[in-house]
Amino acid sequence: MTNSAVRMTGVVKRFPGVVANDGVNFEVLKGEVHALLGENGAGKSTLSNILTGLYRPDEGTIELNGSPVVFGSPKAALDAGIGMVHQHFRLVEPFTVAENVILGNPETPFVIDTGTTAERVAELARRYDMAVDPNAKIWQLSVGEQQRVEILKVLYRGAQVLILDEPTAVLTPIEAEALFRTLRAMTAEGRTVIFISHKLDEVMSVSDRITVLRGGRTVGTVNTRDTSTRELASMMVGRSVEFSRVVRQSPADPGNVVLSLTNVNCEDDRGRQALHEVTVTVGRGEIVGVAGVAGNGQRELAEVIAGMRSSTGGTITVSGNEVPNGRARAAIAGGVAHVPEDRLHTGLAAGHSVEDNMALKNYRTPLLSRFGLLKRNVITSQAGDLVSKYDVKTPDTATPVRLLSGGNVQKVLLAREFSTNPRVLIAASPTRGLDVGAIETVRGRLVEAADSGVGILLISEDLEEIMSLADRIVVMYEGRLVADIPASQATREQLGLLMGGAKMEVTR
Amino acid sequence: MNSNIFIVIAASAIFYGTPLFFAALGGVFTERSGVLNLGVEGMMLIGGVTGAWASLHVGGSAWFTVVAAICIAMAAGAAVAALHAFLCVTLKANQTVAGLSITIFAGAVGLSSYFANIWKVAENPVTRQIRKLDVLGLADAPIVGPLLFNHTILTYASWVMCAVASWYLFRTKIGLQLRAVGESPQTADAMGISVVKYRYIHTMLGGALAGLGGAFYSLAIVPTWVDGMTKGAGWIAIALVIFGFWRPGLTLLGAYLFGALQSLGTVLKSRSYDIPGDVLDALPFVMTIVVLVLVSTRFAHKRIGAPAALGVPYEREER
């Protein structure tokens, strides 16, 4: 084909213990938006890191515009016209937008002329319909604006091929729409866009063609207009996956209250009131979903119940016993388990081994320690049992948690939390960032726990998740619970309105 | 009028502050690249002893000898700094430990004392030293004479260096890229800037300036070699980098403030004020502690902008 922009053939990349890319074939045509679709760990990021010169492939060839190339560094790839917009931005926070854009550009003069540079950057931004002030400092910008700076950086360097790694993960729907318009403006000029994602809907709406990766191999490339989300989903996971309301083995018992909050108030990190008179109960075996747009007090709610944050009023009881304010150890002793949204920082000690992390909650018990000395052999064997019970994929229990994939990290966390036989589980965004298979596993574990009588407060932004798992749904808006609805009566539309702050009679 | 105590202290603050500024300016460059250098004290002493050796052994005119001594001291400081860069950048060692080891290895009762012994520099006073100049014959002019026109050539050089360093850091492309390496090496690397190269060069530049500061002690202040003669000036320089918010201009002011504290003892003693000498000698270090406590508050950290990647080795292919 003459109009091929990038062609990667038989690319293999091995890391210690894993083959991240196992003979990937991938071809992108000039002027198209080409989606690279796959679960977490399918090899998308590795493939793009090879294309941008960060990793060197162990085998395989790369052709750019029909001629073979070898990139020794990101600079070499950039010079050849391949630019990457990373999922985690590569920006220098104290610098201005313009300074970030000109950074490392060989055409920047030795003495920087701030005015001219800002003007050129502003002009480029206007051309692609991106609103951003070239003289603003990065830390002053919203996430959406920071992403525009990333795009400007690669455009300024004259990139003909742009790779965007899960660009919408951090965007609001409106910002995502604006991004899609920008991408269209770029392909209209003949530039090529590689769009990495695991979201089916946006891949369908933005791309011309789609290549699906699974387990480090190419499953196939399809034309977007000839395919469907259902077909893509089954290509992605290798089987068809349906999300529907789960079937419970034993029904919830909302009358038998295990967790009860009465008029709870608390402040956020900046001292502003984050929870306003929150009152909610969770019954034995009941899953109560907390829906809401992030930042409406969900994090503070979870932390108050887990004893990580002091309330400024109200009471919290677990199985009828009041939990002392702001004491995590007392909350644990009272039967509260907590799966925080930030798994690797709040949930686990990322650099510690799987077995140490699994012992973190009950190391004080006579089972795991005596006279303050740890029983290493018991800790190891406990971890071994949990690893096999929860199907954690890890080379051994001495492996640091940070080396595991997202799904396995979450399994370690769930295993530890359930190992203390809690009465109440607070789960904050438990499936965020996980791939489809891991999501299924985690949800299965939650339902299993509820069946065994644990009361679960499921805090999630994912309406699909809440509607399929919860027995009852409450909605948080600006620190208040604005609705309490049985899940069987809730509709997406109604919840979406409530999350957006629309007024409604609370059905209680 | 020029014997007024404030003018005397101000003039000697500039004199004593000059080597502190050299070492601290070196620290600004090194830390801006993201490398923490706690080996400054050791590098200063190595500069001091090699400078003293050169002034005793390099022949030629007095000017040539002094210039050669300065160059040799700077090269020696840079060589020790190259070792630090190798440990921190190439081997990705813990930078605190590496820096402390270098001070212990190269400093007092270490390599510098060893060189002094085998070269026998301590036994001979340095005759070809760096002397104060009488610029335009204005050295005795009231007030401005001692403050502006009666300094060593190195003090005048330090003023030029201060201006050039500010321009380099904040107006040039290389300065921008240097700061990017210290703030976010991942970003710099992705934009094709060599983190390793920038860190090596600026660590060695820092070492050269520390060596220059050391030579100022053995060629101008003392002026001869005495074991451990910098007496902790390297540590003050490290505090000065923070005190100066990683900016050359503020660092110069800070250096003169500490220079004033250091000279206070000498000046007050010569005027028979009855203050114990130990108390006066301790002043710069008390001040160092106060400064470090103040800038260590969370507020200060947010505001003053330490390079975000300071002290963190950069690894590319983490997985």
B:145-204 residues touching chain A, CB 8 A cutoff: 171-174, 176-177, 179-180, 183-184, 186-193
**Once rounded to an integer, what is the mean pLDDT over residues A77-91?**
88
CB pairs under 8 A between A and B: 74
Band of pLDDT at residue A87, cut at 50, 70 and 90: confident
| Residue B52 confidence (pLDDT) above 90 | yes
In chain A, domain spans: 4-237, 253-335+422-499
Q: Which residue of A has its CA nearest to B195?
A: A104
| pLDDT, position B139 | 84
Topology given in CATH for the domain delimited by A4-237: Rossmann fold (3.40.50)
Band of pLDDT at residue A110, cut at 50, 70 and 90: very high
| pLDDT, position A506 | 44
Contact B188 A111 (CB under 8 A): no
**Nearest CA-CA distance, residue A184 and chain B, Å:** 25
A56 touches chain B (CB under 8 A): no
- The one-letter amino acid code at A118 reads A
Band of pLDDT at residue A472, cut at 50, 70 and 90: very high
**Once rounded to an integer, what is the mean pLDDT over residues A465-494?**
88
Mutate to test the interface with B, among A92, A101, A111 (most CBs of B within 10 A): A92
A6 touches chain B (CB under 8 A): no
Q: Beta partners for B307?
A: none
Q: Which residue of A has its CA nearest to B303?
A: A94
Q: For residue B188, list chain A residues with Cβ-Cβ distance below 8 A.
A: 92, 103-104
| pLDDT, position B133 | 86
| pLDDT, position B294 | 77
Angstrom distances, CA of residue B140 to CA of B16, B143, B221: 20, 8, 21
Band of pLDDT at residue A501, cut at 50, 70 and 90: low
Q: For residue B186, list chain A residues with Cβ-Cβ distance below 8 A.
A: 90
pLDDT over 90 percentage in chain A: 54
**Once rounded to an integer, what is the mean pLDDT over residues A466-472?**
91
Q: Which residue of A has its CA nearest to B169?
A: A111
Q: For residue B187, list chain A residues with Cβ-Cβ distance below 8 A.
A: 90-92, 100, 103
Q: pLDDT by residue (tens digit) across A226-236?
A: 998 778 877 87
| Residue A49 confidence (pLDDT) above 60 | yes
B302 touches chain A (CB under 8 A): no
Of A33-37, A53-57, A245-249, the least confident: A245-249
pTM of the predicted protein model = 0.74
Q: For residue B173, list chain A residues with Cβ-Cβ distance below 8 A.
A: 102, 108-112
**Once rounded to an integer, what is the mean pLDDT over residues A344-352?**
89
Give the three-state DSSP class for A291. Answer: strand
| pLDDT, position A1 | 47
| Residue A505 confidence (pLDDT) above 60 | no
Band of pLDDT at residue B319, cut at 50, 70 and 90: very low
Q: Which residue of A has its CA nearest to B318?
A: A403
**What CA–CA distance (Å, rounded) separates B104 from B111?**
9
| Beta-carbon count within 10 A of A411 CB | 26
Mean pLDDT estimate for chain B: 90
Contact B316 A99 (CB under 8 A): no
Copy the structure tokens of residue B114: 């060893």
**Once rounded to an integer, what is the mean pLDDT over residues B128-150?**
86
**ipTM for the complex shown:** 0.85
Q: pLDDT by residue (tens digit) across B181-205?
A: 999 998 998 888 999 999 999 999 9
Q: For residue B304, list chain A residues with Cβ-Cβ distance below 8 A.
A: none
The residues, ordered by sequence, that sit 6+ positions from B78 with a Cβ below 8 Å of its Cβ are: B204, B205, B207, B208, B211
Contact B187 A91 (CB under 8 A): yes
**Once rounded to an integer, what is the mean pLDDT over residues A211-219?**
90
Who has greater pLDDT, A2 or B207?
B207
Q: For residue A55, list chain B residues with Cβ-Cβ distance below 8 A.
A: 317
**Nearest CA-CA distance, residue A21 and chain B, Å:** 14
Q: For B180, which of A55, A74, A103 is closest by C-beta distance?
A: A103
| Residue B299 confidence (pLDDT) above 70 | no
**What CA–CA distance (Å, rounded) separates A308 from A325?**
9
**Nearest CA-CA distance, residue A64 and chain B, Å:** 19
The residues, ordered by sequence, that sit 6+ positions from B307 with a Cβ below 8 Å of its Cβ are: B31, B32, B33, B34, B179, B182, B183, B246
Q: pLDDT by residue (tens digit) across A140-150?
A: 888 888 999 99
B92, HSE (Cβ side, Cα atoms, 13 Å): 6
**Once rounded to an integer, what is the mean pLDDT over residues A42-59?**
90
| pLDDT, position B224 | 86
Q: pLDDT by residue (tens digit) across B221-254?
A: 988 899 999 989 999 999 999 889 899 999 999 9
Contact A92 B184 (CB under 8 A): yes
- The full set of domains in chain B, from first to last, is 5-304 (1.10.3470)
Q: Which residue matches tokens 């301790």?
A: B282
Q: For residue A58, list chain B residues with Cβ-Cβ distance below 8 A.
A: none
| pLDDT, position A239 | 56
**Once rounded to an integer, what is the mean pLDDT over residues A429-445?**
85
| Residue A193 confidence (pLDDT) above 70 | yes
> Is there a shared CATH topology between the A4-237 domain and the A253-335+422-499 domain?
yes
List, in sequence order, the alpha helices (H) in chain B: 5-32, 40-57, 62-85, 95-106, 111-119, 144-148, 153-171, 173-183, 185-190, 195-216, 233-243, 248-270, 277-295, 298-304
**Once rounded to an integer, what is the mean pLDDT over residues B80-97?**
95
Q: For B176, which of A73, A86, A99 is closest by C-beta distance?
A: A99
**Once rounded to an integer, what is the mean pLDDT over residues A52-59?**
90
Who has greater pLDDT, B1 or A428?
A428
What Rg value do the Cα atoms of chain A yield, rounded? Answer: 25
**What CA–CA distance (Å, rounded) separates A283 from B44?**
70
Contact B191 A75 (CB under 8 A): yes
Q: pLDDT by residue (tens digit) across A398-416?
A: 999 988 888 889 999 999 9
Copy the structure tokens of residue A364: 């004080």
Mean pLDDT estimate for chain A: 88
Contact A73 B171 (CB under 8 A): no
Contact B305 A94 (CB under 8 A): yes
**Nearest CA-CA distance, residue A58 and chain B, Å:** 14
The residues, ordered by sequence, that sit 6+ positions from A83 with a Cβ below 8 Å of its Cβ are: A52, A153, A154, A155, A157, A159, A161, A162, A163
Determine phi and psi for A32, rounding to 5 degrees.
-110, 160
**Nearest CA-CA distance, residue B189 and chain A, Å:** 7
Q: Which residue of B has its CA nearest to A107?
A: B173
Contact A104 B191 (CB under 8 A): yes
Give CATH for domain A253-335+422-499: 3.40.50.300
**Once rounded to an integer, what is the mean pLDDT over residues A488-498?**
78
Copy the structure tokens of residue B75: 């090269």
**Once rounded to an integer, what is the mean pLDDT over residues B92-104?**
94
B:272-291 residues touching chain A, CB 8 A cutoff: none
| pLDDT, position B304 | 66
